[in-house]
Each structure stands twice: as C-alpha cells, then as structure tokens.
Structure 1
Amino acid sequence: MKDTVSDIVDILRQAYRNENIMKEENVVLKGENEALRIENALLKERLEHYEKPQLDSKNSNIPPSRESLKAQAIRRTRSLRVSSGKKPGGQVGHTGNTLLKSEKPDEVQTHNPIHCAQCGNSLQEIDGLAYEIRQSIDIPLPIRPKVTDHIGIEKRCTCGHCNRADFPSHVKPGVSYGVNIHALVAYLSTAQHIPFKRLVEVLNDFYGLQMSQGSVSNILNRMRKQGLIKYNEIKQEIQSSPVVGADETGMRLNKNLYWMWVFQNELSTFVFPHSSRGKAAIDSEFSDGLPNSLLVTDCHSSYFNMKTAGHQICLAHLLRKLIYLTVLDEKQDWSVRMLALLRESIHLQKSDNYSVSGIADIKERYKKLMEEDISHLWHDFREFRNGLSPHSEHLFVFLENLHVPPDNNASERSIRPLKVKQKVSGQFKSGEGASAFCVLHSIINTARKKKQDPFLTLIDIAKNVISYQS
C-alpha cells in the first residue's frame, strides 16, 4: 500500500514537472513565432520593393537620361501608342522626298569623249549632243572669313567745311566680328548645343577663325541683350494666346539647382530660368497669371495656383502611370479599363465619330471607375486615384475644345533642347549664360514654329548688335 501511494506521488510529481516544461516550451514557441512573424513582415516589405516594376520614362515621369541600360533598351521597342497593325515604314500614298535639280546651276561642266572606244579615232573635232544631265551639290572649300577694310574719306568743301563719310552701322572702330559670325556663334551654341571649347575648334577648323572662348561668351551676351526686344514680343504672344502649354525641368547653374520654365503655344516658345520651382518663378514673368489662356500642364500644384481661364492635365503622364499599375498587379483590371478609357477619349477627339453623346459616355464611365472600391489593391492604386480626383474636371477639356491638346508633349519638346545642352556642356557657369540660352532658344524655336529660317532671324538680331556696339 505504501509503495502504491509512493508510486502515485512520483507520477503526480512527474506530471507536474512535465506540465511546467510544456508551459515553458509554449512561452518560448510563442516568442519565436512572434519573432518570425515580425521577420516575415519585414522580408515582405523588402521583397515588395524588388517585385514592383522598374520605373522608367514609359511608366513614370522619370526622364530617359535617368533610366537604367535595360530600361533604355526596352524603351526603344515600347510606345504609349497602340499598334495600328500597319507595317513599319512609308505607307501607300506617302509622298517621298528626293533631291530636285536646280534650274540655275552655279557651274556647268561638260564631259566629252576624246577617242572612239571602237576604233580609237579622235573625236575632238566632232560636235556632240547632250545625252544626260547629272547634278552634284557641294560646298566650296576652303571656307575662309572675308576681311573688308572700311576706309572713311573726308573732303573739304570750297566753303571750308570738312565733310566725313559715315561708316555703315555694322562697322565699329578697330577690328570686329561681323553680323554673320555673331549669328553663327549663337546658332551653333544654342540650336546645335555645341559647348564653348568645341565651338572654338569648329570655327578654327572650318573657317580659320582664331576665336577665344571669352569672345564666344561676349558674342552670346551681346546677342542676348539685343534679342530681348524679340524675347519680350514672344512673351506678349504667350500672354494673349487662348491655349498655352507649360512645363519645367531642373538644371545646374554654377553647381546650384535651378529650374528652366517653358510656356508655349503652336507659334511661340518662351523659356526662362529661375531658382524656384514654385509659384514665385511663375510670378516673376507672369505676375497676373494667364487669365485669358487655358493652361495645359502636368499636375504640378504651382500651375493651379495661377489665374487662368482653365486647365487641361496631360493624359500622357496618366497613361504612363497606368501602364506601371497594370504591370504592378496583372490580376486586376481597374487600371486596364482606365487606360483604355483615356486612350479612347484621345481617339474620339481625332475620329469622325466625335459627338456630345460620346463625350458624355466617356465622362460617365470615368465617374464609375473613380467610384469603384479598390481598397483591396496596392496602395499605389489608391494614391493614383486620390491624386487624380481633384483634377477630374480638368481631364476631358480637350474633348469640349478642339484647340486644346490632350497632352503636354509640345512643352516637353520645347524644353528638351535644354537637357541636350546640359548633357554635352554639364552646366551653365553664370546667370548671363543661362539667360542667353533661354532668350536665343526662345527666338530660334519660335522662328521654326513660324516656318522661318532661324539663322536669318539671328542675323537680324546680330545687325542690331553691331549697330548697338558702334
């Protein structure tokens, strides 16, 4: 009996010890489980970063210059446009371009056979007939500057008065560069984005001009000063325009971050630099806003703080973001339907089926998409919708006013030369240099839009420069 009680006591003690061990193990396992849960959440967050599509210029606002090499290769084969199904290249009925013969050649050369190819007899005394005319186009070499001495003559009249002839307005005392050289330097630096050192080499190699980089800088500054009249005329054209596009991009000015702003329409381009990306920059040139203009831009808040006649946001920016969302989550179709809707709206403006009922249908479908529950999707989707919601009234203005474009591509094209200039030259070294580029680029780009020769436009400004100096 005593042994039985002792055995029971031992069993109970062992059970108690086992229970305590299990409780301790349970506490340890719970702690390990919580640690694993936290670690899992952190790893998911890190993995989310790598699983997201890589941002590039086709699915975000990242410029092509900041893309990876892989993204650059993909960009060359991907477009925001939907394929038309047509073969690449010139289409049926497309008018080709070819060199046309000039009716008034500068030189005529005749090529006569001297001996008969059959018998070897001389053909020099035999008259011939032209069987074919070919033309070649070339430039004369060497191209060398034309140096002109301007001699002022004085004559004394019989009355005793001494009369001196006036020099032409473009000829100043001493030795100076002429009108064409001023225009050429401005054109090569601004329109062709050639940096100072290479520009000096071009002038020496092609024209035999021994010019310093300081002289290039002085010429550009003089052209800037005399170009201000035309520059301000362009600004006035923008202020009176019913539709204006605007954009901005960063630049380096003596190692500091500045911003280049562009306001443009179909016939004019006005570009200016400023240290701010906010409304202060806009107010520096358009203090009263553009009250008579409908402004086409991205969603940058500074534009919506301006006084304007209305806004149209750029659909190209939205299409890029929707492409990113579609790749981010291929199982959902919300971004796919929104993408199709925006593309359809652009097509509607260009098609023969354009109608008021079609516009109403587009707007109604857009409203339903914006009201859909997308809380189960990634936060990127909600972020996109929340950012778009305040601008819903600015989305389809282009359908109601056919003079308004659905995108801001024209402004981006107008400001792209700055990025090319920055890429080859690095940065602007002074405010005068940045201002000179803006003034001359505005004049050149405006001339091209108006189907005018930009070089001849620069020559007209250079005439004022020379006249001003003398």
Structure 2
Amino acid sequence: MAQLQLAFAALLARVQDLEAQLAQTSKTSSQPPSQDKPWLPKSERQKSGCSSGGQRGHPGKTLKMSEHPDEIRTLPVTGQCGCGEPWDTVAVHDLLARQVHDLPEVRLHVTEYQVEVKICPRCAHREQAAFPADVPGQVQYGPRVHALTTYLNVVHAVPLERTADVVDALCGARPSGGTIMLNLYLASKRLEGFEEQLKVALINQNVLHADETGSKLGGKMQWLHSVSNAEFTLYGQHSNRGYAAIEKMGVLDRFEGVVVHDAWNTYFQLPGQHALCNAHLLRELRYLHEHLKQSWAGELRTELQGVYHQRKTGTLTQTQKEAFYERFDALLIQGLNANPASPPVPGRRWKPKQTKGRNLALRCQQHRGAVLLFLERDDVPFDNNQAERDIRMFCIKRKISGGFRSVAGGEAFCRIRSYVSTLRKQGMNVWQGLVSVFRGDILMPNFSR
C-alpha cells in the first residue's frame, strides 16, 4: 500500500504538471502569442462602451488634395446648350477639381558614361578621362536598386528569391540572390562607423532595454540580442545567449545606468542597476491565480496594476506608495506560505525543484528594488515592451526564412537593421537613408539625444 500511495502521488504530481503546461498561454507566461490556441482570447482589454473605429477628436489620415499637382488635365465642356448655344463659344465660369494620386511608371533609368580618349599628336601618348568612382564595372545597378533590394530583404523580411521577383515585376530587371547579398555586405561595411557611434550613444543613456530571442544559423541554434531605448537600437547575433554575447556587443558590459530586462540570470551580472519587466510578472501572477487558485497572486496582481495606473496618472501619493510596499511584502510572505519549500531528495546533490509560485515569490523578494524601481524613478518604465517591440520584427523574419546561412549574413542583417530602426525612431526617412548608404554619403541619426 505504501508503494501504491507513492506511485499515486507521483502520477498525481505528473498530471498536475501537464495540466499546468497546457494552461500556459501568452497571457499567463512568457510563451509567445503565436503558440496560443486559436480559440483563446488575444487581449485583456476591457470594453469601454465606445463604438469601434476612430473616436471623436482622433486625427484622421484621409488622402488630401495636393496644392502642387504634377500634371493638370483640363476637360472642356463640349456640344451645345439646350437652347442651341455652342459651349465652345462660352467663357469658363469656374473650374472643379478632382485628383488621382498614383505611382509613376517604374522602369530602370540607364545612364551611360562615355569617357574621352585622346592621343597626343606630338608624342603619341594616350590619355583618357576617369570614370566616376561609383562606376567600377562595365555594367552595374545603381544605388536606388541596391537600396530597394536591401529595403525589401532587411526591413520587410522578404526572402532573396521573392525580393528578386518584386524588383523584376516593378522594374523589368531581376538581380540574382548573390547580387542582393553583396548589397547587404556592402551596406554593412559602410555602416561600421555608424555602429561605433551608436554604441557610444547607448552607453551614455540613462535607461536601456535588453532582450534576446532564438535564431538559426545553418540550422543550428544562435541568439539575436537587442539593446535599445526610444531613440536608438542595436542588434547583435551570437552563438551564446549569455555574457559572451553581451561582451561582443560592447554596450551593456560598460553601461552604468538602468537595464530593463525580463530577469534572465545573465543580466544580473551587469555592472549597472536593474529594473524587471512587470508585464512578465503580471502574466505569471495571472497563471497562479486563475489556474492554480492561489488568491495571494490575484491580490498582488490587482495591487500592482492599481499602483501602476496611479503612478501613470500622477495621482500616487507617498502615503499610498508606502502602503503598497507593505502590502507587497505581506503578499509575498503569503505566497511563500502557500508554496512551501520542496524537501531535499535523498541521494541527490542538486537542489530540489521548487514550484512556480515559490520561485516567483522568492524572485520578487530577492529583486524587490528592481521590480518596484518604476515607482522611484520617472524615467524607468513599468515593463520591457520597448525591447519586445524591437525584437518582434526579427521573429517575423525567422518565421518567413528560418534563419541565416552564414555568420556574415547574420551580422550584416543586424547592423543594417540597427540603422533602419534608429532612423525610424528618430522620424527620419528609411528609404533616403538606405539610398545614402549606397551613394556613400550616409545619412546619420542624431547621436546627441
């Protein structure tokens, strides 16, 4: 009977563990939304009572009449009036206008450079003019074609073959996959100076966001890392998820400000301060409350949401903040009591596995200052959504193309993507920036922000 009871307890624990795994979604854990079941709700937003669509006072984006049209076509009144008066003899009383905004016909513009060759009649010396420096071969594509292939492949994650399809359909020319990759390598080489200035600018910031996600290189697991804020973005690819990748990027290991992250253990080795993502914490608390029926987690989640909204609206007083701190500590003690420590397993050297609830409560106790730093500093956000947004586009690329074929390809993508993301954050034109890279007069962002 004792053996049966032990076996039953082990099976019951196994069933509970499997049920807990099935209950995990993007709303209750760090699982990405792409792995959620299709019938699960996708948002926690509550009904506001307003009708769907743009609300009153919302600035519209309706297509507007241009004050300077490129072409004007006047359509005359023809025929005659009902009384017999010919319309072509009547003066124009008014003009009514309608406009059509369309793309011009796209075709390659071919420029041929012809250099003069002269032979001296006295000494028969042959001399010729020099071709432009950006025309090294007999036939090549220009900077706009290079920029278009780079824009499609890096900015919008269009694979090489489909990039060639798009250029062929629009321009009537089909660059090879090798040509497109050479464009990426050339852009990456020319952006080395940009990346160095970007790293210096990031090190001088007060708050940075960090995150990482899995990547594939030749079918093997790699990691793409991001370091960013609202003005700058730096990407890097490395075979290591840990500190070696951080050292190679050369920012966070020299950064002394606040790093916002999702409690990955490697980040706690950094020299700066730490702020933990409370969006992750809210999801974990929701899982404990809704699926494991732990009331302390639901209360802590409600308290945390309430103090966040008070801080966001500027209504949080010092008395309310101190009361929240006391409530926070008391709820964590309740969490530890509801999740007692697992006893050591005889014959095993390593520590026994603890429950999710206990691990979460211990983490919040150990890193209390990092969890609640958003209440002490106005420049520290509540969550790590900035890093999540910056890394999301790479996740889309990974789904489309699967990964990179070479280390050089991954590094080129990261450097170009860092440039594009930084330009976009500062309100600069990405297309003009890419064209400037291939023209050799790179449009630089403002690094003094």
| Structure 2 counterpart of 1:9 | none
| Structure 1 counterpart of 2:110 | 147
For normalisation by structure 2, the TM-score amounts to 0.87
User: C-alpha offsets along residues 169-222 of structure 1, whole Å, 9 cap, x if unaligned?
Assistant: 322231111111111111111111100010111111111112111111111111
User: C-alpha offsets along residues 92-130 of structure 1, whole Å, 9 cap, x if unaligned?
Assistant: 322222112111100111222323475686423333233
Structure 2 residue ranges without an equivalent (≥5): 341-354, 443-449
- Secondary structure of 1:69's aligned partner: coil
| Structure 2 counterpart of 1:321 | 284
Alpha-carbon RMSD across the aligned residues, in angstroms, is 2.6
| Structure 1 counterpart of 2:351 | none
**In terms of mean alpha carbon deviation, does 440-449 or 114-123 score higher?**
114-123
| Structure 2 counterpart of 1:41 | 9
Distance of aligned partners of 1:158 and 1:452 in 2 relative to their CA distance in 1, 3 Å threshold: farther
| Structure 1 counterpart of 2:191 | 227
User: C-alpha offsets along residues 28-76 of structure 1, whole Å, 9 cap, x if unaligned?
Assistant: xxx5xx56645543453344245435211111111123333334xx22x
Amino acid at match of 2:288: L
**Is 1:338 paired with 2:300?**
yes
Amino acid at match of 1:303: Y
- Are the aligned partners of 1:170 and 1:179 in contact in 2 as well (CA < 8 Å)? no
For residue 282 of structure 1, report the CA deviation from its aligned partner.
0.5
- Cα distance in structure 2, aligned partners of 1:368 and 1:150: 78
Please identify which structure carries the higher helix content.
1
- Cα distance in structure 1, aligned partners of 2:148 and 2:292: 53
Structure 1 residue ranges without an equivalent (≥5): 1-30
Say which of 326, 331, 334 aligns to 1:369: 331
| Structure 1 counterpart of 2:382 | 406
- Cα distance in structure 1, aligned partners of 2:334 and 2:18: 28
User: C-alpha offsets along residues 116-154 of structure 1, whole Å, 9 cap, x if unaligned?
Assistant: 47568642333323342111100122x111111111125
- Are the aligned partners of 2:199 and 2:250 in contact in 1 as well (CA < 8 Å)? no
**Is 1:275 paired with 2:232?**
no
- Cα distance in structure 1, aligned partners of 2:192 and 2:52: 45
- Are the aligned partners of 1:296 and 1:408 in contact in 2 as well (CA < 8 Å)? yes
- Cα distance in structure 2, aligned partners of 1:306 and 1:187: 35
- Are the aligned partners of 1:312 and 1:395 in contact in 2 as well (CA < 8 Å)? yes
| Structure 2 counterpart of 1:6 | none
**In terms of mean alpha carbon deviation, does 244-253 or 355-364 score higher?**
355-364
Residues 200-239 of structure 1: pairs in structure 2 closer than 5 A: 200-239=164-203
User: C-alpha offsets along residues 247-273 of structure 1, whole Å, 9 cap, x if unaligned?
Assistant: 000011100100000000111000000
| Structure 2 counterpart of 1:20 | none
Say which of 236, 260, 265 aligns to 1:296: 260
For residue 287 of structure 1, report the CA deviation from its aligned partner.
7.2
Amino acid at match of 1:239: I
| Structure 2 counterpart of 1:133 | 97
- Cα distance in structure 2, aligned partners of 1:385 and 1:189: 44
**Is 1:353 paired with 2:315?**
yes
For normalisation by structure 1, the TM-score amounts to 0.84
User: C-alpha offsets along residues 371-407 of structure 1, whole Å, 9 cap, x if unaligned?
Assistant: 2264345933222212322211101212222111111
Amino acid at match of 1:348: Q
Larger Rg over CA atoms: 1
- Cα distance in structure 1, aligned partners of 2:261 and 2:323: 25
- Secondary structure of 2:89's aligned partner: coil
For residue 230 of structure 1, report the CA deviation from its aligned partner.
1.2
**Is 1:434 paired with 2:410?**
yes
- Secondary structure of 1:91's aligned partner: coil
Distance of aligned partners of 1:287 and 1:92 in 2 relative to their CA distance in 1, 3 Å threshold: closer
